[in-house]
Amino acid sequence: MSGTRKITALQLYFVLILSISITNHVLLIPILLHYGKRDSWFGASMAMIPTLIWICLLYVVIKRSKQQNMMEWVKQRYGKVIVFLLKFIVILIAVAHASITLRDMVTWTNISYLPRTPPIMISLAFMIFCFFAAREGMRAVAITSGILLPGVMLLGFFVMGANFQYKDYSLITPLFTHGYEPAIKSLLLTCGSSFELISIVFLQHHAKTRIRLRSLLILGAIIIGLTVGPLMGAIAIFGPFEAADLRYPAFEQWRMVTLGKYISHLDFLSIFQWISGACIRMCMLMFLSVDVMGIQKKRTRTWILIGLSLFFLAVCLFPFTDDEMVRFIQNWYYPMMLVFGIGLLLILFVLTILPVRPKEKVTK
């Protein structure tokens, strides 16, 4: 990729904020409330500590690889077998993330504002847009993120401020009435989501400016904050037990918004937030899946993206009820993401600190 087609590190951060925060709002918060109830916000807040430590290790990987293409960097030092296994793991994780994102987005769209529209039509329209955006490359995704993120954040502050009249923050205490386990579970689940920041390692070569530790730490703090804020808001409005029974607590907060006596039903504004985040996330994951393969020919990349799009459409058609989906996310998805996040970073960390073999130094 030429320098003119690269993006800045700031643009890459915008993509990651939109990508991760949408799943934290839609997928993670209901799970935290389910397991943690009143203690969930405290556990999510405490996730800041392991997340920032994890980011420091992540920065070591970025610095030692000199912000090069990670797959090419590993291939030069450890050969094709290691890089093949690494590619397989990354693509598997990216496809799993994308499948869950699309399935949940279609479910939310279908039950909230398009109940009579067949899910296949919703997913088809969505995937057509994501396919063309991913085909255009990371620069197109990053520019779109830069345009969408300010609007998404302004709407977030708007719904937070508009609902202050309904909030009772005394509901977030007392803590630990059922022991420490709910808070610990919430901490681990939040880490499982935040550790998705590892995707920056496989996109780092698209950034023409330096990725700095301070910026990564701020990015991690923002992602945790975007989880804790609406989580506390849901508890303060609905109470810990009522909020835990809601399928989409963040969306229900939008339904509470009123401006004066005569303006209400502003929940349609949440559609912009949901679709913006889901689109950027899908585009980034589709692009990442193809990019780690190292395929340069645009026609081949296009066909692979078409195959991925058809696969994701098939996932939406799979006879999987929403209750089964929720149980899968609760019991398997986030715990697996925690394990993969820790395991993949440790693998990369070891690969970057191991000395290069002498014969490879000669051939370079």
State the Rg of the chain over Cα: 21
The residues, any chain, with a CB within 8 Å of residue 360's CB and separated by 6 or more, are 76, 77
pLDDT at 169 over 80: yes
Report which DSSP code applies to 209: S
Residues 292 and 89: their CA atoms lie apart, in Å, by: 11
Report pLDDT for 3.
47
Kindly report, residue by residue over 220-267, the tens digit of the pLDDT: 999 999 999 999 999 999 999 999 999 899 889 998 998 888 888 888
Choose among 135, 72, 127, 133: nearest CA to 99: 127
- Start-to-end CA distance of the chain, whole Å, equals 22
pLDDT at 328 over 80: yes
- Give percent of the chain with pLDDT exceeding 70: 96
Report pLDDT for 265.
83
Q: What share of the chain is helix, strand, coil (3-state, %, to 5)?
A: 80, 0, 15
* pLDDT mean over 1-28: 84
Of residues 330 and 13, which shows the higher confidence score?
13
* Tokens coding 284: 């980034």
Residue 146: band (very low, low, confident or very high) from pLDDT cuts 50, 70, 90:
very high
Kindly report, residue by residue over 32-78, the tens digit of the pLDDT: 999 999 999 999 999 999 999 999 999 999 999 988 999 999 998 88
Report pLDDT for 357.
58
Report pLDDT for 356.
67
Contact 212, 63 (CB under 8 A): no
Kindly report, residue by residue over 85-135, the tens digit of the pLDDT: 999 999 999 999 999 999 999 999 998 889 899 999 999 999 999 999 999
- Beta bridge partners, 259, equal 263
Question: In 24-69, where does DSSP find H-type helix?
Answer: 29-36, 40-46, 48-64
344 C-beta neighbours (distance < 10 Å), count: 18
Contact 284, 14 (CB under 8 A): no
Q: What is the mean pLDDT of the chain?
A: 90
